[in-house]
A = this chain, B = another copy of it.
Amino acid sequence: MENVFNRIRNHHLHDRIVSAEQAASWISNGMTLGLSGFTRAGDAKAVPMALVERARNEKMKVNVYTGASLGSDIDRLFAEVGLLNKRLPFQADPTMRKKINQGDFYFVDQHLSKTSEMVRGQVLQPIDFAIVEAIAITEDNMIIPSTSVGNSMVFAAHAKSIIVEINLAQPQLLEGLHDLYEPEKQGDRSPIPITKVDDRIGTLGIPVDMAKVRGIVFTNQTDSPSTVTAPDIDTNTIAQHLIAFLRGEVQEGRLTNRLAPLQSGIGSVSNAVLHGLIDSEFTDLEVYSEVLQDAVFELMDAGKVRFASCCSITLSGSKMERVFPNLDQYRDKLVLRPQEISNHPEVIRRMGLIAINTALEFDIYGNVNSTHVLGTQMMNGIGGSGDFARNSRISIFVTKSTAKDGNISSIVPFVSHVDHTEHDVDVVVTEQGYADLRGLAPRERAELIIERCAHPMYREQLMDYYKEALTRGGQTPHVLEKALSWHTNFAQSGTMLQKVLQSV
């Protein structure tokens, strides 16, 4: 009971406490749900799980909108039990991915800053229930989110009803770290008043109309730990090339050793690259990103990062154990914002971020595929990479130069799917080196990319393609009938490598 009073401080709401099963029973076939959760952090856990149990015995479909990917196996189970009609704007679960690629349900892959505009603008299906994880509800009716903010604020504002999951396993020390701000509707909107990463512009929680809060569920389950793998030789080398590039920017006088606010995408490569900054000369750094992974806390602990703004904290199990009980140490160095604000073009452009995102593949002209394997199979989604790449000061994409034991070259003549056009790609980095593409025409880009970034075993093959393309001419020379042949070769023969293909 102490927890009840402590966690639901408007005592008029105590009669709204229900079980997860009871809350899930309100959801009916055809409804649309807006769930908290961003890259495995702060997801509503109990009600979705109770819904999964219902769906095992009952034919029902719902639309599920989230912040980004969910943890706690929810995305996997949603996909497995066939509960989904439509899912947006991002996921990262292998089972869900498989079902998406089979066409079992619709997946809408969106820029993560944009879902909120579509909800606010009433373009998407209206949300019946927002189901939002929290650490508390305050006396003045604010929901205090947990380890992520995601789209919870806009979902709560626009849903017909709200279910709050108060998770006792989440660190209560998170309270005070959030900064909740919702832009007015387009056309009546003021500038978003963030000019520095540590600016606070909103409230400590999500102000809600408590008449809409239909139920409050207590839970006690930690977030799923992140799945990032440790840095390896290749990612360390990528980090070193990136540092060499940044060092050059400092030497040219375009940056100082404080660099510019850093954004880094989700995943092992991005995490490893950030980690690589620990031993660099750069200092007093700032982060303005979606997700904080382990590396940012390591950089803070090493005194390298002064302040980090995010919309989600996604840590490995051991890092959770280290960070969460000690959040007071980070209190003046952290803020969690809605993903609309962490990823907002206006703020990204104003502050001039250095954006580091991961490519699946890029082509000799600098177009990037970050989502579709062989142009067709969805991996995770574009996430926030578009928000950052388009609007940053320097848009960097990193990847290992090969995959599948060298049978895939990450540098191809023509990407099989475009998420980021050459206009939005300033620097590409592999373990082979970096290519600074700023101010370069396509013909200049091609030679540099092949020479600096491609794996040696693919360089000649890429140059052969490029030379043949040059005979055809054009601003962006291509041999169209061969442009996608590397991908079809891999699909048919398991390798892109010409020498192997010829010997087969």
Contact = CB atoms under 8 A, between A and B. Distances in A.
Nearest to A474: B376
Interface in A64-88: 86, 88
A421 B386 CA distance: 10
Given A187-B351, A386-B423, A481-B484, A473 B102 contact: yes
A345 B102 CA distance: 36
A411 B500 CA distance: 37
Contact of A423 (B110, B350, B480): B110
Contact of A195 (B117, B190, B420): B190
A480 B375 contact: yes
B480 A376 contact: yes
Contacts of A481: 484, 488
B475 A440 contact: no
Contacts of A483: 375, 484
Interface string A477-489: 1101101100110
A480 B475 contact: no
A365 to B, nearest CB: 9
A123 B419 contact: no
A83 to B, nearest CB: 16
Interface in A246-280: 252-254, 260-261
B421 A253 contact: no
Given A122-B254, A421-B418, A441 B86 contact: yes
B122 A475 contact: no
Contacts of A260: 186-187
A390 interface: yes
A101 interface: yes
Contacts of A397: none
Interface of A: 86, 88, 100-103, 106-111, 114, 117-118, 121-125, 183, 185-187, 189-193, 195, 252-254, 260-261, 344-346, 349-352, 367, 372, 374-378, 382, 386, 390-391, 393, 416-423, 438-441, 443-444, 469-470, 472-478, 480-481, 483-484, 487-488, 491
Contacts of A474: 101, 372, 375-378
A195 B191 contact: yes
- Closest 4 A/B residue pairs (Cβ): A186-B352, A376-B474, A191-B191, A378-B475
12 contacts: A86-B441, A103-B470, A191-B191, A191-B346, A376-B473, A376-B478, A378-B476, A386-B390, A386-B421, A416-B478, A480-B487, A481-B484
Grouping DSSP codes into helix (H, G, I), strand (E, B) and loop, the A interface class, with mixed when no group exceeds half, is loop
A270 B260 CA distance: 39
A350 B190 CA distance: 7
A186 B391 CA distance: 11
A107 B475 contact: yes
B346 A349 contact: yes
A186 B477 CA distance: 34
A66 to B, nearest CB: 15
A111 to B, nearest CB: 5
Contacts of A441: 86, 106-108
Nearest to A377: B474
Contacts of A351: 186-187, 189
Contacts of A421: 382, 386, 418-421
A480 B416 contact: yes
A499 to B, nearest CB: 21
A372 B483 CA distance: 15
A218 B455 CA distance: 57
Given A125-B439, A475-B107, A393 B117 contact: yes
Nearest to A286: B187
Contacts of A107: 441, 475
Contact of A108 (B117, B252, B372, B440): B440
B439 A103 contact: no
Given A108-B439, A189-B351, A391 B345 contact: yes
A130 B400 CA distance: 42
A374 B477 CA distance: 10
A12 B375 CA distance: 64
A189 B483 CA distance: 43
B345 A109 contact: no
Given A101-B473, A106-B443, A480-B487, 12 more contacts: A108-B441, A111-B423, A123-B254, A124-B438, A185-B352, A191-B193, A345-B346, A376-B473, A376-B476, A386-B421, A418-B418, A480-B488
